[in-house]
Structure 1
């Protein structure tokens, strides 16, 4: 029972029954009020017509108190009629229809009524409806005409109507709720099927998809959205698997090298110089591990949103120039040169620390993966910073064989290295620098893209909203 109460089907049926009950209650009350109003209105019209007829009969005599036999017969035919004349502020009955003596006591005998009115008073056999109208005889004597009719018939009709409404409304609600429960079950049956199929999909089966129904309704859109979500989960799981495998591979290399060097040294006694050489090699591997760990930590903190990015004015051209000077000496040793092109100050709102890291990573990657030139530094890596169309643009180009077209879209993924891209002279990379650069650009509301140049090499373009 508890499970049934918490189902959408039950809640829909309950809400449907509540709404229907409210509607039927309002409709029943309105129907009862309208029927009651129309019955009383019809009854009042008959009383007014009778009073008009009484006035016509009385107008044939100068002194109404002296009624002729003809007048009395006509008044007797009309119904319950009671006539008063005013005497010293009180009323005196001078005519009463046959059978109306029991209602005389319920009528106000005062004769000073100024205008016609309806009233309802209790009578010996139930409620009475009275229409009272003042009149003045041809002799000038004031009086009152009272036409009285019992409301017993109307009361009985309304009582029957109340019973019918009270019996039919609950029955209609029960039947409608049962029908609504059945219809809700039919409507939600596809949802149960989707739930059952989705429950069978496990982490190892993310390639499966739910069958999309032919009807392009809410259920169809739900299934399509669910399939899209599974596709995103599959892509995330695959990326996580690749990330884990690549991280394990990158960490395994330095660890294996360190372990091998230590085992060789410990295999037999060595001189001090040999120990220093091995320890220096181990130190280099430790630096590699630390660099990988720091990069992974940056990406992990970025994924969790725990890195705060400041929004302060930063001269992007100054950052690029300073880093170009830092890289110049190392680039010249490898037969490369660096050139900075910037004609004006380029300011954007950002975090100088992370923008510095962005330019560093892009320059480091450009120098590593460029062809060496001659001793005069003919292989040139260029850094261009400019403002164009309301954006700050940074572009770094390097000479070289370029990147396979199918790899361009994956350059900024973690641990990704294209098959055709190899660092020069053993320069090593971990495949994390461009991933960090991509995050920095995204955190600053910018875009980053790579393309192969027609003259050879690769150009990485970054755009930011200008300050």
Structure 2
């Protein structure tokens, strides 16, 4: 058996993936912000140091003065070990430099500060890269003039080269560069921490959400358990909607409604089985009793012939009952197909009345057909429904009564009415008149010859349901009227 995915696990994984995605977006945003902030601060340090160095150089008289005051110029980068400074003349001769070299880890200022990584000194050639365009002496040094390059050994560098004019109008070049290795190490470490924190946070969120989801689904598991305890003999059991969350109330109500329908259907099935067994037993008992009496002593040929004729009548009764039960079973099947066609209702009612004319004469009744109309329906089922109503009317119409078959055509429906005089139907029986095995005569063992064992009106209702119509009855002192309403199908 293939097991479906766990709802709790699926939701937990989805929540964990969502949390991880959110952490990734937030971490990327924070990392990018930190990177921009660090880069902006480093660029500002480079620009300020270059401006101050150019200003100090502009106060010197000559190249000799630059050499003499080299310490004053390089003081602009003191305190920032990542910065390197070089001052050169037009021919590239270095006049002053500050290029810190670390060959081993320095001792941190205190125990809580990390040791600084090894950072080799930048060669003079790397401070004046060929691709770097110097800022002219009369141009302002700005951040957008900073260049980025990679020194020998893969060391990332950001820096600027600017020209400065001495008092004797000699031009010198000032190179300021920052070794970005420590920044790269800082950002890499920060990125790794964000990844670890995001992964652990997503894992924690997934586990926590799984626990919360399982707790939230506890009422659903209780509903499943309670539903599993409902058996055929406990169809009257209902689930407690008051203990279910608001989101599951509709589910509980739907299950209770389903249980109600099942209980009703099972009750109808049980009653139908009991009624069918009772009605099948009656003709069988009649045949058995008559046969036992006949076999009690020798009989004449005429007596045996009368016994066979009586048994044949009971066989016919059983055959009609079985045929009607099979029809009802087929009519309730979703695949039952009707063969509909258009016909004149008045002509069909005339044919049905002609078929029952002999029985009506024997009963002392008269048949009358009124009205006109056309209908699209299954002709055989239509005849069967009207015939059942007409046979029912013949059984309960007193001698001399007139049974009327009338058709009324309206804009959206066609009504067929079968009415007869006689005693009105008991009002308590009217709501159940179309149920199976319900008779006007409460005596279950009797019945009018030629009856349908209480299935005739049930067949009428099934026929109308197959056509999307309705069957209803009206009964009062003026007589009884069975009304079949066929809804017209719109034509294309």
Q: Do the structures match in fold with TM over 0.5?
A: yes
Kindly indicate whether residue 396 of structure 2 is the aligned counterpart of residue 410 of structure 1. Answer: no
> How far 1:75 moved relative to its partner?
6.1
Q: Judge conservation of contact 1:339–1:383 (CA < 8 Å) in 2.
A: yes
CA deviation map 1:247-271 (0-9, x unaligned):
1111111222222233333333333
**Given the alignment of the two structures, is residue 365 of structure 1 paired with residue 392 of structure 2, yes or no?**
yes
1:452 Cα offset (Å)? 2.5
Distance in 1 (alpha carbons) for counterparts of 2:428 and 2:171: 112
Q: Would you say the 8 A contact 2:279–2:453 is kept in 1?
A: yes
Distance (Å, rounded) in 1 between the aligned partners of 2:216 and 2:486: 50
Corresponding residue for residue 277 of structure 2:
248
Runs of 5+ in structure 1 lacking a partner? Answer: none
Is contact 1:315–1:347 with CA below 8 Å preserved after alignment? yes
Cα 1:418/1:334, change in 2 over 3 Å: closer
| C-alpha distance in structure 1 between counterparts of 2:379 and 2:160, whole Å | 95
1:347 alignment counterpart? 375
Q: 1:123 to 1:110 in 2, by over 3 A?
A: closer
Which of the numbers 185, 192, 205 marks the counterpart of 1:156? 185
Indicate the residue corresponding to 1:442 in structure 2. Answer: 465
- Aligned mates of 2:427, 2:399 — CA distance in 1: 24
**Structure 2 unpaired stretches of 5+:** 78-82, 101-120, 136-143
CA contact (8 A) 1:254 1:288 kept: yes
1:213 CA displacement: 1.6
Aligned to 2:122: 102
**Is 1:383 matched up with 2:411?**
no
> How much does 1:367 deviate?
2.7
Separation in structure 1 between the aligned mates of residue 314 and residue 265 of structure 2, nearest angstrom: 31
Counterparts in 2 of 1:283 and 1:93: CA distance versus 1, 3 Å: farther
8 Å Cα contact 2:146/2:160 also seen in 1: yes
Deviations 1:197-232 (A, max 9, x none): 222222112122222225660233322222211111
Partners of 1:45 and 1:396 in 2: how far apart?
104
Q: Counterpart of 1:312 in 2: which secondary structure?
A: strand
User: Do the aligned residues in 2 keep the contact of 1:402 with 1:456 (CA within 8 Å)?
Assistant: yes
The answer to whether the 8 A contact 1:384-1:394 is kept is yes
**1:35 Cα deviation after fit:** 2.7
Indicate conservation of the 8 Å contact 2:132/2:160, yes or no.
no
More moved, 255-264 vs 447-456: 447-456
What SS class does the counterpart of residue 429 from structure 1 fall into? coil
Query: How far apart, in 2, do the equivalents of 1:157 and 1:112 lie?
Result: 29
- 1:362 and 1:27 map into 2 onto residues whose CA distance is 79
Aligned residue in 1 for 2:109: none
Whole-angstrom distance in 2 between the partners of 1:140 and 1:405: 126
Report the counterpart of residue 311 of structure 2 in structure 1.
282
SS at match of 2:312: helix
CA distances 1:103-129 after superposition (whole Å, capped 9, x unpaired): 544453146689845324255584222
Secondary structure in structure 2 of the residue aligned to 1:366: helix
CA distance in 2 between counterparts of 1:64 and 1:413 reads 122
Name the SS for the 1:356 alignment partner.
helix
Select 1:394's aligned residue among 413, 416, 436: 416
- CA drift at 1:21: 3.1
- What displacement does 1:143 show? 9.3
Deviates more, 1:47-56 or 1:189-198: 47-56
Alignment partners' CA distance in 2, 1:406 and 1:465:
32
> For 1:187 and 1:31, how far apart are their aligned partners in 2?
34
Inter-CA distance 382–72: structure 2 relative to 1 (3 Å threshold): farther
User: For residues 48 and 403 of structure 1, what CA distance do their matches in structure 2 show?
Assistant: 109
Task: Supply the distance in 2 between the matched residues of 1:245 and 1:291 (Cα, whole angstroms).
Answer: 18
C-alpha spacing 1:120/1:308, structure 2 compared with 1 (3 Å)? farther
- State the alpha-carbon separation in 2 of the partners of residues 117 and 188 from structure 1: 60
The residue aligned with 2:84 is 80
1:45-444 correspondence to structure 2 within 5 Å: 45-51=44-50, 73-74=72-73, 76-77=75-76, 79-81=83-85, 92=92, 97-99=97-99, 102-106=122-126, 108-110=129-131, 116=145, 118-122=147-151, 126-131=155-160, 146-213=175-242, 217-343=246-372, 345-348=373-376, 350-368=377-395, 370-374=396-400, 379-418=401-440, 426-444=449-467
Deviations along 1:394-431, one digit per CA (max 9) or x if unpaired, are 22222222323333232222222245799985552322
Distance 1:333 1:142 in 2: 141
Residue 213 of structure 1 aligns to a residue whose secondary structure is: helix
Note if contact 2:84-2:177 (Cα within 8 Å) is conserved in structure 1: yes
Q: Which residue of 2 aligns with 1:451?
A: 474
CA distance in 2, matches of 1:274, 1:71: 151
Whole-angstrom CA distance in 1 between matches of 2:271 and 2:206: 54
Alignment partners' CA distance in 1, 2:461 and 2:95? 108
CA contact (8 A) 1:84 1:109 kept: no
Q: Is the 8 A contact 2:156 2:179 kept in 1?
A: yes
C-alpha distance in 2 between matches for 1:209 and 1:162: 58
| Change over 3 Å in CA distance of 1:454–1:73 after alignment to 2 | farther
